[in-house]
């Protein structure tokens, strides 16, 4: 269906992901870690351990055309990720500005909409020597803002990598055409 807001199949997704960088092309066919326990749980930017490249984040939002009041709201929003096993499959959850989590399966294209933006997403595992388990979880998003609430008439590709470091943090690197920034999330221990 050519009218579908989502890309039609995995081959198209991989072609788009591969075009993002030579690094992606070489590693896009990774597999999940054998032991997912270091990944599972609720990761948050709340608390004293949270760090973000705030200046880079603000510059990126400014270059994307977001007005100051919206940038202030977005920068105050705490990043959260949750990883869990459901039905024997790995589930990736990312908290959105609406406060709800968007749940995705690895290697399964997903399309959702928020604030008038159509977001096509593919989550994949990549082999990566930088991660403590040799793995990186990558979320590649294609955002169309034809009816976007704040910005309209554009299509952008964002690549977000998630890697576990030696300090036990989830290192989240966000790459967009306008720039990049890093944030470090900590796993919550209460209630787990």
Which residues, in sequence order, are CB contacts of 159 under 8 Å at separation 6+? Answer: 17, 20, 21, 24, 138, 139, 140, 141, 174, 175
CA–CA gap between residue 119 and residue 141 (Å, rounded): 6
Q: Per residue of the chain (192 residues), give pLDDT as tens.
A: 333 444 444 444 454 444 443 434 444 468 888 899 999 999 987 655 567 777 877 787 777 777 777 777 776 667 789 999 887 789 998 887 667 788 888 888 888 777 677 888 899 999 987 788 889 999 998 887 765 455 555 678 889 999 999 888 999 899 988 888 888 888 987 644
pTM above 0.85?
A: no
């Amino acid at each position: 269906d050519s009218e579908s807001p989502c890309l039609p199949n995995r081959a198209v997704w991989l072609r788009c992901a591969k075009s993002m960088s030579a690094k992606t092309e070489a590693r896009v066919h990774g597999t999940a870690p054998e032991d997912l326990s270091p990944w599972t749980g609720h990761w948050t930017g709340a608390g004293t351990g949270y760090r973000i490249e705030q200046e880079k984040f603000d510059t990126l939002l400014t270059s994307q055309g977001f007005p100051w009041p919206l940038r202030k709201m977005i920068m105050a929003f705490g990043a959260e990720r949750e990883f869990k096993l459901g039905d024997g499959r790995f589930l990736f959850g990312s908290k959105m500005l609406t406060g709800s989590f968007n749940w995705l399966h690895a290697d399964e294209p997903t399309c959702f909409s928020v604030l008038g933006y159509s977001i096509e997403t593919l989550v994949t595992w990549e082999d990566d020597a930088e991660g403590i388990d040799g793995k990186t979880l990558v979320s590649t998003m294609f955002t169309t803002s034809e009816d976007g609430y704040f910005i309209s008439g554009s299509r952008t590709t964002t690549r977000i990598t998630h890697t576990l470091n030696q300090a036990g943090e989830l290192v989240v690197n966000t790459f967009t055409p306008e720039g990049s920034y890093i944030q470090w999330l900590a796993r919550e221990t209460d209630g787990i």
